[in-house]
Amino acid sequence: MAGVALLVGDNIINKSGEIIDLKSEQYSGKIIGLYFAAHWCPPCREFTPLLAEFYNKYHESKKLEIIFISSDRDIESYRGYYDNMPWLSLEYKNREKSKELTKTFRVTGIPALILLDGDTGEIICETARSKVQSDSNGRDFPWKSTGHSNKSVCVIF
C-alpha cells in the first residue's frame, strides 16, 4: 500500500478518528477508491448511499477500501456528512492535501470516485462512480477504464 500512502500522506483516519497507517500489511493488495464529495452537493448526497451499500457488501471480498476526500466548506459539514460513511477519510484539517489530490487527479466535479492500485498508486479506473451505478453487484470489479463520466456533478474549483 506504499503507493497510495505516498499519494495521500499520513492524515488518513478511521471512523473512530484514529490515524491509519496505510503501509500496514492489512492494506496490502487492496484497491483504493478516492471518493471526492461534499454534503452541499445534491449528486453526492444521492450517490453516497449507493456507494456505501456497495462498500458494505463487497469491501472484504473485493479487497476494496475507500478514502473520503471532502470538498466541504467547514468542519461541521464534513463531520455530519462523514458520519454517514463506513470508510476511511482524509482528515478535514488537511485542506492542502485535499486540494493537491483534487489537482493531481484532475477532479473538476463531484462526486468522483477514482480507483487506485493500493500498492503502486496507479490509476485503475477514473469513472468508478458510473461503474458502481451500472455494475452494482461488482461482477466486473475492479473496473478498468479512463476518462471522465458525464453524469451530474457539482463543479468545484
Which CATH number goes with the domain that contains 67? 3.40.30.10
Element at 3 (helix H, strand E): helix 2-8
Q: How does residue 93 score in pLDDT terms, banded at 50, 70 and 90? A: very high
Looking at the domain assignment, is residue 131 inside a domain?
yes
Looking at the domain assignment, is residue 78 inside a domain?
yes
Q: Edge to edge, what strands does the sheet with 112-117 contain?
A: 12-13, 88-90, 64-70, 31-37, 112-117, 123-125
Least confident of 3-17, 60-74, 76-90, 142-156: 142-156
DSSP string, 109-132: EESEEEEEETTT--EEES-HHHHH
Percent over 70 (pLDDT), the chain: 91
Looking at the domain assignment, is residue 18 inside a domain?
no
Q: Tell me how far apart the alpha carbons of residues 12 and 131 are, in angstroms, rounded to a whole number.
A: 25
The reported pLDDT for the residue numbered 79 is 95
Amino acid symbol at 22:
L
Least confident of 2-11, 17-26, 45-54, 70-79: 2-11
Cut 0.75: pTM above it: yes
The reported pLDDT for the residue numbered 78 is 95
Distances (CA, A) of 26 to 61, 63, 105: 14, 10, 25
CB 101 within 8 A of CB 150: no
Whether pLDDT at 34 is above 80: yes
Q: How does residue 157 score in pLDDT terms, banded at 50, 70 and 90? A: very low
CB 20 within 8 A of CB 14: yes
Question: How many domains does the chain divide into?
Answer: 1
Whether pLDDT at 156 is above 60: no
Structural domain for 133, as ranges: 2-12+23-155
Looking at the domain assignment, is residue 118 inside a domain?
yes
When the pLDDT of each residue in the chain is averaged and rounded to a whole number, the result is: 89
